[in-house]
Amino acid sequence: MTDPQRLETIMSRYAGVAADLIPVLQDIQDEFNYLPKDELKVVAQHLNVPLTRVYSVATFFKMFSLEPRGKHLIRVCLGTACHLRGGQRLVETVGRRLNVGPGHATEDLQFSLETVGCLGSCAQAPLMMIDDKYFGRMAVDKVPKILKPYKP
């Protein structure tokens, strides 16, 4: 499918009112893996909201990304418990392994690395997530083995 069609399919699911903005952006994020600029302009027109509003919402929420995200999203927890148990070292290790800084995607767009405030499973600190899967009681030396199945 070409891009206008993909967007059209998403927009056709909604009534086209301003309140649909966040659900529409979520669908675009799922479909495109980021929020492309041109698509956002079309969304603003369709929902009849100012482009500033769309930009404001898109930059406010962490689930949205204006840069292309990698195929797999790695979230490393830096909440209080994870922080105490070496979360920062975990981020650094993953970042070094994949050659990517937190908040960015690898060059081949295979991975995105992000830090989060809490993953809601503090008992298993330090914790990281790849896509929908949790990896608890992490240690730096477990990182290569965990990343392996996700590599191309």
Partner 1 sequence: MKNDSVSLTIDGKPVQVPAGTALLLAAKANNIDIPTLCYHPELKPEGHCRLCVVEIGTAPRTRLVNSCTYPAEPGLVVQTASAKVLASRRMVLELLLAQAPAGEHLKEMAAAMGVHETRFKKGDPAARCILCAQCVRTCREVVGVSAISMAFRTPKKRVATPFAEQSEACIGCGSCVFICPTNTIAYTEKDGIRTVWGRKFELQPCNKCGNYIAPKAQLEHWAKLTGDPVESFYVCKDCR
Q: Which is nearer to partner 1, 36 or 136 (CB)?
A: 36
Supply the minimum distance, in Å, between the C-beta of residue 95 and partner 1.
Answer: 20
Supply the minimum distance, in Å, between the C-beta of residue 21 and partner 1.
Answer: 13
18-26, 46-54, 94-102, 132-140 -> range binding partner 1 (CB under 8 A): 46-54
Supply the minimum distance, in Å, between the C-beta of residue 148 and partner 1.
Answer: 35
- Based on the shown chain and the rule CB under 8 A, indicate whether residue 35 belongs to the binding site for partner 1: no
- The number of helices, as runs of H, and strands, as runs of E, in the chain is 7, 5
- Based on the shown chain and the rule CB under 8 A, indicate whether residue 80 belongs to the binding site for partner 1: no
- Based on the shown chain and the rule CB under 8 A, indicate whether residue 68 belongs to the binding site for partner 1: no
Count other Cβ atoms within 10 Å, centred on residue 33: 17
| Residue of 70, 54, 67 lying closest to 131 (CA atoms) | 70
| Residue of 127, 126, 104 lying closest to 114 (CA atoms) | 104
Supply the minimum distance, in Å, between the C-beta of residue 32 and partner 1.
Answer: 16
Euclidean distance between the first and the last CA atom of the chain, given in angstroms as a whole number: 24
Q: Report the alpha-carbon distance of residue 110 to residue 74 in Å, rounded.
A: 10
Q: Which is nearer to partner 1, 53 or 133 (CB)?
A: 53
Strand pairing class (111-116; 72-77): parallel
- Based on the shown chain and the rule CB under 8 A, indicate whether residue 53 belongs to the binding site for partner 1: yes
- Based on the shown chain and the rule CB under 8 A, indicate whether residue 66 belongs to the binding site for partner 1: yes
- Based on the shown chain and the rule CB under 8 A, indicate whether residue 32 belongs to the binding site for partner 1: no
Q: Report the alpha-carbon distance of residue 69 to residue 50 in Å, rounded.
A: 25
